[in-house]
Amino acid sequence: MMDFGFGLMRLPIKSEDYADIDYEQVNDMVDKYIEAGYNYFDTGYGYHEGKSEIAIRECVIKRYPREDVLIADKLPLYELTKESDIEAIFNEQLERCGVDYFDYYLVHNTTDVFKPVCDYLDCFGFVRDKKEKGLVKKIGFSHHDSAELLDEILTENPDVDFVQLQINYLDWYNNESIQAKECYEVARKHDVDVIIMEAVKGGNLVNLPEEAEKKFKDYNPDASNVSWAIRFCLSLDGVICTLSGMSALEQMEENLEIVKDFKPLNDEEKTIIDEVVEIINQSIAIPCTYCNYCVEHCPNDIPISKFFELYNDAKSAIEIQPLYYIYYNNYAERGAPASDCSFCGDCVDQCTQHLDIPELLEDVVDLLEGKF
Protein backbone atom coordinates (compact mmCIF):
# COMPACT_ATOMS: atom_id res chain seq x y z
CA MET A 1 0.00 0.00 0.00
CA MET A 2 1.66 3.22 -1.03
CA ASP A 3 -0.64 6.21 -0.53
CA PHE A 4 1.60 7.44 2.28
CA GLY A 5 5.33 7.49 1.51
CA PHE A 6 8.42 7.71 3.70
CA GLY A 7 10.71 10.38 2.26
CA LEU A 8 14.31 9.89 3.41
CA MET A 9 15.56 13.42 2.82
CA ARG A 10 15.41 14.81 6.37
CA LEU A 11 16.35 11.83 8.49
CA PRO A 12 17.32 12.08 12.15
CA ILE A 13 21.01 12.88 12.56
CA LYS A 14 23.34 12.34 15.51
CA SER A 15 25.35 15.54 15.21
CA GLU A 16 25.43 18.82 13.29
CA ASP A 17 26.72 16.81 10.33
CA TYR A 18 23.89 16.32 7.82
CA ALA A 19 25.42 12.99 6.76
CA ASP A 20 25.64 11.60 10.31
CA ILE A 21 22.39 9.63 10.15
CA ASP A 22 20.97 8.04 13.28
CA TYR A 23 20.45 4.62 11.69
CA GLU A 24 19.00 3.06 14.85
CA GLN A 25 16.25 5.62 14.96
CA VAL A 26 15.66 5.18 11.24
CA ASN A 27 15.30 1.42 11.84
CA ASP A 28 12.57 2.15 14.40
CA MET A 29 10.84 4.52 12.00
CA VAL A 30 10.97 1.96 9.20
CA ASP A 31 9.56 -0.73 11.49
CA LYS A 32 6.64 1.47 12.57
CA TYR A 33 5.94 2.45 8.99
CA ILE A 34 5.93 -1.13 7.72
CA GLU A 35 3.90 -2.36 10.70
CA ALA A 36 1.24 0.17 9.70
CA GLY A 37 1.00 -1.46 6.27
CA TYR A 38 2.97 1.02 4.12
CA ASN A 39 5.94 0.24 1.90
CA TYR A 40 7.09 3.22 -0.25
CA PHE A 41 10.59 4.62 0.41
CA ASP A 42 11.80 7.69 -1.47
CA THR A 43 15.47 8.63 -1.61
CA GLY A 44 17.74 10.78 -3.80
CA TYR A 45 21.38 10.80 -4.86
CA GLY A 46 22.25 13.95 -2.94
CA TYR A 47 20.12 13.46 0.17
CA HIS A 48 22.26 13.46 3.31
CA GLU A 49 25.32 13.63 1.05
CA GLY A 50 24.56 10.20 -0.37
CA LYS A 51 23.91 8.57 3.00
CA SER A 52 20.13 8.46 2.52
CA GLU A 53 20.64 5.79 -0.13
CA ILE A 54 22.86 3.91 2.34
CA ALA A 55 20.02 4.16 4.88
CA ILE A 56 17.76 2.47 2.33
CA ARG A 57 20.21 -0.43 2.16
CA GLU A 58 20.94 -0.72 5.86
CA CYS A 59 17.53 0.04 7.35
CA VAL A 60 15.18 -1.32 4.70
CA ILE A 61 16.73 -3.70 2.19
CA LYS A 62 18.85 -5.68 4.65
CA ARG A 63 15.92 -6.02 7.05
CA TYR A 64 12.89 -6.73 4.85
CA PRO A 65 12.23 -8.96 1.81
CA ARG A 66 12.96 -6.97 -1.35
CA GLU A 67 9.59 -7.80 -2.90
CA ASP A 68 7.73 -6.37 0.12
CA VAL A 69 9.04 -2.82 -0.31
CA LEU A 70 8.99 -0.19 -3.04
CA ILE A 71 12.17 1.84 -3.52
CA ALA A 72 12.18 5.16 -5.40
CA ASP A 73 15.40 6.91 -6.42
CA LYS A 74 16.24 9.81 -8.73
CA LEU A 75 18.65 10.70 -11.52
CA PRO A 76 20.21 14.00 -10.40
CA LEU A 77 20.26 16.33 -13.42
CA TYR A 78 22.37 18.79 -11.45
CA GLU A 79 25.25 16.25 -11.26
CA LEU A 80 25.41 15.44 -14.98
CA THR A 81 28.02 16.87 -17.31
CA LYS A 82 28.47 14.05 -19.83
CA GLU A 83 26.60 10.98 -21.01
CA SER A 84 28.77 8.47 -19.13
CA ASP A 85 27.85 10.17 -15.84
CA ILE A 86 24.32 8.82 -16.11
CA GLU A 87 25.13 5.12 -16.19
CA ALA A 88 27.84 5.57 -13.55
CA ILE A 89 25.45 7.32 -11.16
CA PHE A 90 22.67 4.82 -11.77
CA ASN A 91 25.00 1.90 -10.99
CA GLU A 92 26.31 3.69 -7.92
CA GLN A 93 22.74 4.19 -6.73
CA LEU A 94 21.90 0.50 -7.16
CA GLU A 95 24.97 -0.38 -5.15
CA ARG A 96 24.39 2.19 -2.42
CA CYS A 97 20.78 1.08 -2.00
CA GLY A 98 21.73 -2.61 -2.13
CA VAL A 99 19.20 -3.41 -4.86
CA ASP A 100 19.32 -4.72 -8.40
CA TYR A 101 16.32 -2.73 -9.59
CA PHE A 102 14.30 0.33 -8.59
CA ASP A 103 10.53 0.20 -8.35
CA TYR A 104 10.23 3.90 -9.14
CA TYR A 105 12.93 5.97 -10.83
CA LEU A 106 12.67 9.70 -11.42
CA VAL A 107 14.47 12.30 -13.45
CA HIS A 108 15.19 14.68 -10.57
CA ASN A 109 14.25 18.36 -10.59
CA THR A 110 13.06 19.25 -14.07
CA THR A 111 13.33 23.01 -14.49
CA ASP A 112 13.93 25.42 -17.34
CA VAL A 113 17.56 25.52 -16.28
CA PHE A 114 18.11 21.75 -16.29
CA LYS A 115 15.81 20.87 -19.20
CA PRO A 116 18.58 21.48 -21.80
CA VAL A 117 20.87 19.08 -19.89
CA CYS A 118 18.05 16.56 -19.71
CA ASP A 119 17.39 16.84 -23.45
CA TYR A 120 21.03 16.92 -24.51
CA LEU A 121 21.90 13.78 -22.55
CA ASP A 122 18.54 12.15 -23.37
CA CYS A 123 17.81 11.36 -19.73
CA PHE A 124 14.27 10.23 -20.46
CA GLY A 125 15.68 7.87 -23.11
CA PHE A 126 17.99 6.49 -20.43
CA VAL A 127 15.26 5.79 -17.87
CA ARG A 128 13.03 4.34 -20.62
CA ASP A 129 15.84 1.95 -21.58
CA LYS A 130 16.27 0.88 -17.94
CA LYS A 131 12.56 0.19 -17.73
CA GLU A 132 12.69 -1.97 -20.87
CA LYS A 133 15.55 -3.93 -19.29
CA GLY A 134 13.61 -4.45 -16.05
CA LEU A 135 16.01 -2.38 -13.95
CA VAL A 136 13.27 0.16 -13.27
CA LYS A 137 9.61 -0.71 -12.91
CA LYS A 138 8.02 2.73 -13.24
CA ILE A 139 9.48 5.95 -14.60
CA GLY A 140 8.66 9.54 -13.76
CA PHE A 141 10.16 12.87 -12.81
CA SER A 142 10.06 15.37 -9.99
CA HIS A 143 9.14 18.81 -11.22
CA HIS A 144 10.13 22.19 -9.76
CA ASP A 145 8.95 24.65 -12.34
CA SER A 146 5.94 26.02 -14.18
CA ALA A 147 2.85 24.17 -15.29
CA GLU A 148 3.71 25.18 -18.84
CA LEU A 149 7.05 23.37 -18.69
CA LEU A 150 5.38 20.38 -17.05
CA ASP A 151 2.91 20.24 -19.90
CA GLU A 152 5.78 20.35 -22.40
CA ILE A 153 7.67 17.51 -20.72
CA LEU A 154 4.57 15.32 -20.39
CA THR A 155 3.74 15.96 -24.04
CA GLU A 156 7.27 14.97 -25.07
CA ASN A 157 7.23 11.90 -22.82
CA PRO A 158 3.70 10.49 -22.87
CA ASP A 159 4.87 7.13 -21.54
CA VAL A 160 5.96 8.33 -18.08
CA ASP A 161 4.07 6.56 -15.33
CA PHE A 162 3.97 9.32 -12.76
CA VAL A 163 5.08 12.82 -11.83
CA GLN A 164 6.17 14.08 -8.42
CA LEU A 165 4.93 17.57 -7.56
CA GLN A 166 5.28 20.04 -4.71
CA ILE A 167 1.73 20.37 -3.42
CA ASN A 168 0.39 21.70 -0.13
CA TYR A 169 -2.53 23.95 0.72
CA LEU A 170 -0.47 27.13 0.88
CA ASP A 171 1.23 26.64 -2.49
CA TRP A 172 -2.11 25.49 -3.91
CA TYR A 173 -3.90 28.75 -3.23
CA ASN A 174 -1.02 31.09 -2.98
CA ASN A 175 2.11 30.39 -4.89
CA GLU A 176 2.65 31.60 -8.41
CA SER A 177 6.27 30.45 -8.40
CA ILE A 178 5.54 26.84 -7.57
CA GLN A 179 2.16 26.66 -9.35
CA ALA A 180 1.00 23.64 -7.34
CA LYS A 181 -2.62 23.71 -8.48
CA GLU A 182 -1.77 24.40 -12.10
CA CYS A 183 0.84 21.62 -12.18
CA TYR A 184 -1.63 19.20 -10.61
CA GLU A 185 -4.22 20.08 -13.26
CA VAL A 186 -1.68 19.51 -16.04
CA ALA A 187 -0.81 16.09 -14.59
CA ARG A 188 -4.49 15.19 -14.45
CA LYS A 189 -4.95 16.35 -18.02
CA HIS A 190 -2.18 13.96 -19.10
CA ASP A 191 -3.67 11.22 -16.93
CA VAL A 192 -0.44 10.42 -15.09
CA ASP A 193 -0.32 9.41 -11.46
CA VAL A 194 0.77 12.08 -9.01
CA ILE A 195 3.12 11.69 -6.07
CA ILE A 196 3.11 14.64 -3.71
CA MET A 197 6.20 16.07 -2.05
CA GLU A 198 6.39 18.89 0.51
CA ALA A 199 2.90 18.27 1.88
CA VAL A 200 3.75 20.36 4.94
CA LYS A 201 5.95 22.73 2.94
CA GLY A 202 9.23 21.66 4.49
CA GLY A 203 7.70 21.96 7.97
CA ASN A 204 6.29 25.44 7.39
CA LEU A 205 2.72 24.34 7.94
CA VAL A 206 3.51 22.85 11.32
CA ASN A 207 3.72 26.12 13.27
CA LEU A 208 1.19 28.66 12.06
CA PRO A 209 0.27 32.21 13.08
CA GLU A 210 -1.83 32.05 16.29
CA GLU A 211 -4.99 33.23 14.57
CA ALA A 212 -4.65 30.59 11.86
CA GLU A 213 -4.10 27.83 14.37
CA LYS A 214 -7.16 29.00 16.31
CA LYS A 215 -9.31 28.52 13.19
CA PHE A 216 -8.21 24.91 13.00
CA LYS A 217 -8.55 24.28 16.73
CA ASP A 218 -12.01 25.89 16.94
CA TYR A 219 -13.23 23.42 14.37
CA ASN A 220 -11.47 20.38 15.78
CA PRO A 221 -9.37 20.76 18.94
CA ASP A 222 -7.87 17.29 18.48
CA ALA A 223 -6.58 17.79 14.93
CA SER A 224 -2.97 18.95 14.58
CA ASN A 225 -1.84 21.50 12.00
CA VAL A 226 0.05 18.70 10.25
CA SER A 227 -3.12 16.64 9.94
CA TRP A 228 -4.83 19.45 8.02
CA ALA A 229 -1.89 19.66 5.62
CA ILE A 230 -1.66 15.91 5.02
CA ARG A 231 -5.43 15.48 4.66
CA PHE A 232 -5.48 18.28 2.08
CA CYS A 233 -3.09 16.28 -0.09
CA LEU A 234 -4.67 12.89 0.48
CA SER A 235 -8.04 14.36 -0.54
CA LEU A 236 -6.88 15.07 -4.09
CA ASP A 237 -7.89 12.63 -6.85
CA GLY A 238 -5.19 10.82 -8.79
CA VAL A 239 -2.63 11.03 -5.99
CA ILE A 240 -1.06 7.62 -5.50
CA CYS A 241 1.30 8.70 -2.75
CA THR A 242 1.84 11.63 -0.40
CA LEU A 243 5.42 11.76 0.83
CA SER A 244 6.41 12.93 4.24
CA GLY A 245 10.06 13.64 5.01
CA MET A 246 10.01 12.67 8.66
CA SER A 247 12.94 13.42 10.95
CA ALA A 248 12.04 11.57 14.13
CA LEU A 249 10.17 8.54 15.40
CA GLU A 250 7.52 10.78 17.01
CA GLN A 251 6.82 12.41 13.65
CA MET A 252 6.40 8.99 12.09
CA GLU A 253 3.97 7.99 14.84
CA GLU A 254 2.01 11.22 14.49
CA ASN A 255 1.78 10.93 10.70
CA LEU A 256 0.70 7.29 10.84
CA GLU A 257 -2.04 8.26 13.27
CA ILE A 258 -3.23 10.94 10.82
CA VAL A 259 -3.37 8.63 7.82
CA LYS A 260 -4.84 5.67 9.74
CA ASP A 261 -8.35 7.06 9.97
CA PHE A 262 -8.11 9.34 6.97
CA LYS A 263 -11.28 11.08 5.86
CA PRO A 264 -11.27 13.49 2.89
CA LEU A 265 -11.79 17.16 3.72
CA ASN A 266 -15.43 18.23 3.75
CA ASP A 267 -16.63 21.56 2.32
CA GLU A 268 -16.55 23.30 5.69
CA GLU A 269 -12.97 22.20 6.25
CA LYS A 270 -11.96 23.43 2.80
CA THR A 271 -13.44 26.82 3.67
CA ILE A 272 -11.43 26.88 6.90
CA ILE A 273 -8.26 26.16 4.94
CA ASP A 274 -9.12 29.10 2.64
CA GLU A 275 -9.39 31.33 5.71
CA VAL A 276 -6.13 30.02 7.14
CA VAL A 277 -4.36 30.76 3.85
CA GLU A 278 -5.69 34.33 4.07
CA ILE A 279 -4.29 34.71 7.58
CA ILE A 280 -0.91 33.27 6.62
CA ASN A 281 -0.83 35.67 3.67
CA GLN A 282 -1.37 38.63 5.98
CA SER A 283 1.65 37.64 8.03
CA ILE A 284 4.01 37.68 5.07
CA ALA A 285 7.14 39.80 5.10
CA ILE A 286 6.82 41.62 1.74
CA PRO A 287 3.22 42.46 0.81
CA CYS A 288 3.81 41.89 -2.89
CA THR A 289 0.76 40.66 -4.74
CA TYR A 290 2.84 39.12 -7.54
CA CYS A 291 1.00 41.16 -10.14
CA ASN A 292 4.21 41.47 -12.21
CA TYR A 293 3.60 45.07 -13.23
CA CYS A 294 7.15 45.88 -12.21
CA VAL A 295 8.90 43.03 -13.95
CA GLU A 296 8.63 44.15 -17.56
CA HIS A 297 10.07 47.52 -16.62
CA CYS A 298 13.28 46.13 -15.21
CA PRO A 299 16.11 46.66 -17.71
CA ASN A 300 18.11 43.96 -15.98
CA ASP A 301 15.44 41.23 -16.21
CA ILE A 302 15.31 40.62 -12.49
CA PRO A 303 12.38 38.30 -11.67
CA ILE A 304 11.28 40.62 -8.86
CA SER A 305 7.99 38.99 -7.92
CA LYS A 306 9.43 35.48 -7.93
CA PHE A 307 12.18 36.60 -5.58
CA PHE A 308 9.71 38.31 -3.24
CA GLU A 309 7.57 35.23 -3.13
CA LEU A 310 10.52 33.02 -2.28
CA TYR A 311 11.67 35.55 0.30
CA ASN A 312 8.25 35.50 1.96
CA ASP A 313 8.19 31.73 2.01
CA ALA A 314 11.69 31.59 3.44
CA LYS A 315 10.98 34.22 6.11
CA SER A 316 7.93 32.33 7.33
CA ALA A 317 9.88 29.07 7.46
CA ILE A 318 11.07 27.70 10.74
CA GLU A 319 14.25 26.77 8.99
CA ILE A 320 15.32 27.69 5.48
CA GLN A 321 15.39 24.51 3.41
CA PRO A 322 17.92 24.01 0.55
CA LEU A 323 14.94 23.99 -1.80
CA TYR A 324 14.64 27.78 -1.41
CA TYR A 325 18.19 28.26 -2.66
CA ILE A 326 17.57 25.88 -5.56
CA TYR A 327 14.51 27.87 -6.60
CA TYR A 328 16.39 31.13 -6.14
CA ASN A 329 19.25 29.94 -8.34
CA ASN A 330 16.84 28.66 -10.98
CA TYR A 331 15.13 32.05 -11.23
CA ALA A 332 18.42 33.93 -11.10
CA GLU A 333 19.87 31.87 -13.94
CA ARG A 334 16.77 32.34 -16.05
CA GLY A 335 16.60 36.08 -15.42
CA ALA A 336 19.19 37.78 -13.26
CA PRO A 337 20.20 37.65 -9.59
CA ALA A 338 18.76 40.22 -7.21
CA SER A 339 22.24 41.70 -6.80
CA ASP A 340 22.10 42.87 -10.44
CA CYS A 341 19.73 45.64 -9.36
CA SER A 342 21.27 48.96 -10.41
CA PHE A 343 18.85 51.09 -8.36
CA CYS A 344 17.53 52.75 -11.52
CA GLY A 345 14.07 52.94 -9.93
CA ASP A 346 12.18 52.15 -13.13
CA CYS A 347 10.15 49.49 -11.35
CA VAL A 348 9.10 51.56 -8.37
CA ASP A 349 6.54 53.73 -10.14
CA GLN A 350 4.90 50.62 -11.52
CA CYS A 351 4.41 48.90 -8.18
CA THR A 352 0.74 48.47 -7.35
CA GLN A 353 1.66 48.03 -3.68
CA HIS A 354 4.05 51.01 -3.54
CA LEU A 355 6.96 48.89 -2.42
CA ASP A 356 10.54 50.11 -2.30
CA ILE A 357 11.62 47.32 -4.62
CA PRO A 358 15.39 48.01 -4.82
CA GLU A 359 15.69 48.11 -1.04
CA LEU A 360 13.67 44.92 -0.64
CA LEU A 361 15.87 43.21 -3.23
CA GLU A 362 18.81 43.88 -0.95
CA ASP A 363 17.01 41.84 1.71
CA VAL A 364 16.55 39.09 -0.86
CA VAL A 365 20.28 39.10 -1.61
CA ASP A 366 21.12 38.86 2.09
CA LEU A 367 18.79 35.93 2.64
CA LEU A 368 18.99 33.85 -0.52
CA GLU A 369 21.88 34.70 -2.79
CA GLY A 370 25.11 32.71 -3.03
CA LYS A 371 24.01 30.11 -0.50
CA PHE A 372 23.93 26.90 -2.54
Helix (H, G, I), strand (E, B) or coil at 112: coil
User: Which secondary-structure segment (H or E) carries 16?
Assistant: none
Identified binder of ligand SF4 from the candidate list 55, 357, 364, 367, rule CB under 6 A: 357
Torsion (CA) 76, 79, 85, 88 in degrees, nearest 10: -60
By CB under 6 A, the residues from 89 to 128 that bind ligand SF4 are none
d(CA 60, CA 83): 31
As a whole number of angstroms, the distance between CA 278 and CA 257 comes to 28
Q: Does the protein bind ligand SF4 through residue 346 (CB under 6 A)?
A: yes
170 forms part of the interface with ligand SF4 (CB under 6 A): no
Question: Shortest approach of ligand SF4 to residue 178 CB, angstroms?
Answer: 16
Q: Given the complex with ligand SF4, which of 123 and 361 has the nearer CB atom?
A: 361
User: d(Cα 331, Cα 274) in Å, to the nearest integer?
Assistant: 28
Positions 290 through 309 that interact with ligand SF4 (CB under 6 A):
290-294, 297-298, 300, 302, 304-305, 308
Q: What minimum distance in Å lies between the beta carbon of 354 and ligand SF4?
A: 8
Residues 6+ apart with CB under 8 A from 6: 29, 30, 33, 38, 40, 41, 42, 243, 244, 246, 252
Length, in residues, of the chain: 372
Q: Which of residues 307-336 bind ligand SF4 (CB under 6 A)?
A: 308
CB of 147 to ligand SF4, least distance (A): 19
Q: How many residues bind ligand SF4 (CB under 6 A)?
A: 29
Contact call for residue 355 and ligand SF4 (CB under 6 A): yes
| 347 forms part of the interface with ligand SF4 (CB under 6 A) | yes
- The nearer residue to ligand SF4, 291 or 318, going by C-beta atoms, is 291
Minimal distance, residue 286 CB to ligand SF4, in Å: 8
CB 202, CB 310: distance < 8 Å: no
Which residues, 4 to 63, sit near ligand SF4 by CB under 6 A? none
If one asks whether residue 289 binds ligand SF4 (CB under 6 A), the answer comes out as yes
Residue 235 CA to residue 255 CA, distance in Å, equals 15
| Residue 281 interacting with ligand SF4 (CB under 6 A) | no
Q: b vs e for 208-239, b when ≥16 Cβ sit within 10 Å of the residue's Cβ?
A: beeebbebbeeeeeeebbbbbbbbbbbbbeeb
* Residue 283 near ligand SF4 by CB under 6 A: no
d(CA 14, CA 141): 31
- Is 349 a binding residue for ligand SF4 by CB under 6 A? The answer is no
Closer to ligand SF4 at the Cβ: 101 or 173?
A: 173
Q: Smallest distance, Å, CB 334 to ligand SF4?
A: 15
C-beta of 371: minimal distance to ligand SF4 in Å? 20
**CA separation for the pair 372, 293 (Å, rounded):** 29
Q: Which residues bind ligand SF4 (CB under 6 A)?
A: 288-294, 297-298, 300, 302, 304-305, 308, 341-347, 350-353, 355, 357-358, 361
